[in-house]
């Protein structure tokens, strides 16, 4: 068990977007969700920038996104993947007490904080085995990912989680279904070995199962042409995206959203957002959008046609994204959230199996924590969100 670090007085005050951006520049582990450019994508939210200071020196930074309640002059304050600071150097109370004091004065009724960090990680092959249904004395049945022995655990992250809970912050219990916000469990293709050294492409592909590895290599060496598009090609992406939405039964975003995302992120730094196409004889078979910031790479959107499935267009794009992410020195290629279930009969199990066949390890992040500053309003908001999710 880790001991609490000695208290250091921290203060919080507003800073500019440029000051926040400058602080992030020296911290390659920060998520792209903390970029001011991301706030310009999420235009329905109002950004605020706060700095944490010790003895006059800035030691932390955060982009907050405010969402107002209808009619009432109260807001939800959301900190995605932040604050960005050395959590091991400070107690949770040191970090959060001045934050809460500031937000209480600003009329915030609920604070939601997506604390950076990974608590546990499970290898793709171990997750696939646990979900295979082949149980024996050496392979007991596990209901949830958190029941499965992890190959990597972070004591500091566990200590931070315990401190947050003791200080009155709360988060959803681990369950089989997704809850509102960023999923606690993420699928990530590791691009470095356990010692932190970069892998080569073959080393990354070795984490895939045999079929996925064969199909990915075939797609990368076959008749497909992988193209990198520009903002003028967003309409091409959106056509495939709409086809995918209709086929899979979800409501997609408008093309204007992707145009804004591409323009804003690449205004921050060229190459932050890339759109790819797998093309065969002049026809787009698949498309993907990747975001890169610091040491992280995220496969944020994918789309595909029902035509020429045996050419494995999406896997050609995954191969290219792996190659580009390695060239940029990234530590992982994130494929988004997965359920915590290990029950192969669960309706979300197929997503986990698919992502792990692609070599994605599963990581349990610290998750998103709530702190109510106005309990009646926070309770009403929680009931509203639960009712909305049911419908």
Give the Å distances, CA to CA, from 127 to 130, 153, 343, 361: 5, 16, 11, 8
At residue 39, the pLDDT reads: 98
Residue listed under structure tokens 């994508």: 41
Instruction: Pick 2 or 90 by higher pLDDT.
Output: 90
DSSP symbol at 74: -
- Per-residue pLDDT of 217-260, as tens digits, reads 999 998 999 999 999 999 999 999 999 999 999 999 999 999 99
> Using alpha carbons only, how large is the chain's radius of gyration in Å?
22
Tell me the whole-structure pTM to 2 decimals. Answer: 0.93
- Per-residue pLDDT of 58-94, as tens digits, reads 999 999 999 987 767 789 999 999 999 999 999 999 9
| Alpha carbon 134 to its chain's center | 31
Residue 366 has pLDDT above 50, yes or no: yes
At residue 377, the pLDDT reads: 87
| Cis status of the peptide bond prior to 83, with omega within 30 of 0 | yes
- Per-residue pLDDT of 248-294, as tens digits, reads 999 999 999 999 999 999 999 999 999 999 999 999 999 999 999 99
At residue 84, the pLDDT reads: 98
At residue 383, the pLDDT reads: 75
C-beta separation of 303 from 237 below 8 A: yes
C-beta separation of 34 from 22 below 8 A: no
- Per-residue pLDDT of 124-177, as tens digits, reads 999 999 998 765 545 567 899 999 999 999 999 999 999 999 999 999 888 777
At residue 1, the pLDDT reads: 41
**CATH of region 119-154+172-365:** 3.40.630.30
Domain range list for the chain: 11-116+368-390, 119-154+172-365
Out of 3.40.630.30, 3.20.20.70, 3.30.1330.10, 3.40.640.10, the CATH code matching 11-116+368-390 is 3.40.630.30
- Average pLDDT for residues 201-213, to the nearest whole number? 97
| Cis status of the peptide bond prior to 110, with omega within 30 of 0 | no
- Per-residue pLDDT of 91-124, as tens digits, reads 999 999 999 999 999 999 999 999 999 999 999 9
Helix axes 255-268, 234-248, angle to 10 degrees: 130
Residue 339 has pLDDT above 80, yes or no: yes
Is 11-116+368-390's fold the same as 119-154+172-365's? yes
> Which of the four pLDDT bands, split at 50, 70 and 90, describes residue 9?
confident
Question: Alpha-carbon distance 226 to 278, whole Å?
Answer: 5
DSSP symbol at 33: G
At residue 73, the pLDDT reads: 78
């Amino acid at each position: 068990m880790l001991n609490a670090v000695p208290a250091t007085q921290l203060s919080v005050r507003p800073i500019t977007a440029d000051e926040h951006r400058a602080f992030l520049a020296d911290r390659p582990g920060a998520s792209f969700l903390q970029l001011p450019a991301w706030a310009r994508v999420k235009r329905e939210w109002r950004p605020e920038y706060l700095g944490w200071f010790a003895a006059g020196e800035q030691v932390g930074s955060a982009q907050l996104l405010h969402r107002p309640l209808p009619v009432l002059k109260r807001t939800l304050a959301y900190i995605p993947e932040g604050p960005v600071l050395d959590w091991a150097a400070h107690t949770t109370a040191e970090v959060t007490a001045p934050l809460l004091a500031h937000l209480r004065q600003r009329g915030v009724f609920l604070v939601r904080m997506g604390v950076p960090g990974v608590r546990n990680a499970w290898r793709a092959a171990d997750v696939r085995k646990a979900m295979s249904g082949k149980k024996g004395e050496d392979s007991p049945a596990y209901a949830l990912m958190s029941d499965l022995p992890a190959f990597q655990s972070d004591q500091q992250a566990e200590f931070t989680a315990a401190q947050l809970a003791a200080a009155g912050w709360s988060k959803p219990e681990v369950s089989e279904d997704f809850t509102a916000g960023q999923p606690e469990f993420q699928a990530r293709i590791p691009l470095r070995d356990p010692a932190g050294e970069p892998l080569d492409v073959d080393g990354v592909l070795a984490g895939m199962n045999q079929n996925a590895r064969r199909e990915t290599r075939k797609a990368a060496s076959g008749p497909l042409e992988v193209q990198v598009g520009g903002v003028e090609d967003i309409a091409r992406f959106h056509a495939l995206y709409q086809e995918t939405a209709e086929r899979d039964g979800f409501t997609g975003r408008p093309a204007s959203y992707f145009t804004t995302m591409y323009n804003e992120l690449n205004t921050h730094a060229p190459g932050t957002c890339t759109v790819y196409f797998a093309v065969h004889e002049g026809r787009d078979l698949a498309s993907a959008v990747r975001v890169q910031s610091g040491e992280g790479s995220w496969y944020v959107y994918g789309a595909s046609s029902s035509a020429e499935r045996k050419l494995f267009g999406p896997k050609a794009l995954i191969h290219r994204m792996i190659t580009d992410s390695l060239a940029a020195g990234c530590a992982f290629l994130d494929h988004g959230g997965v359920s915590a279930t290990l029950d192969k009969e669960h309706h979300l199990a197929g997503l986990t199996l698919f992502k792990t066949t692609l070599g994605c390890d599963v990581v349990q992040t610290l998750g998103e924590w709530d702190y109510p500053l106005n309990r009646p309003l926070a309770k009403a908001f929680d009931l509203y969100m639960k009712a909305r999710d049911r419908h």
